[in-house]
Amino acid sequence: MPAPTPAPTPTQVPCPHCGRPVEWSAASPFRPFCCKRCKLIDLGDWLAENHRIPDAGEPLEEDQPPADQVWPTH
């Protein structure tokens, strides 16, 4: 008799957020993340990084007219 075919091992990928092995199948609806929480956290971080970029650098006001013309204070 031929040897029994071993059960197919589901492909696993590490969760991009916490590194836990995630089964790459329909059983893991949040793949490549291990859970909804990791997916939301990672997505939130990504969005936060994008939103943070304009504020992280130098102020983008060099091309604008003097502040007095834009923000009259008197």
Q: Total residues contacting Zn ion (rule CB under 5 A)?
A: 6
- For Zn ion, give the closer residue by CB, 19 or 52: 19
Which tokens in the block code for residue 58? 């130098």
With binding defined as CB under 5 A, does residue 13 bind Zn ion? no
* Beta carbons within 8 Å of 33's beta carbon, 6+ residues apart: 15, 16, 17, 22, 39, 42
* Span interacting with Zn ion, options 11-19, 39-47, 55-63, 66-74, rule CB under 5 A: 11-19
Site string for Zn ion, 25-44 (x = CB under 5 A): ---------x---x------
Contact criterion met (CB below 8 Å) for 64 and 58: no
Q: How far apart are the first and last CA of the chain?
A: 95
Site residues (CB under 5 A) for Zn ion? 15, 17-18, 20, 34, 38
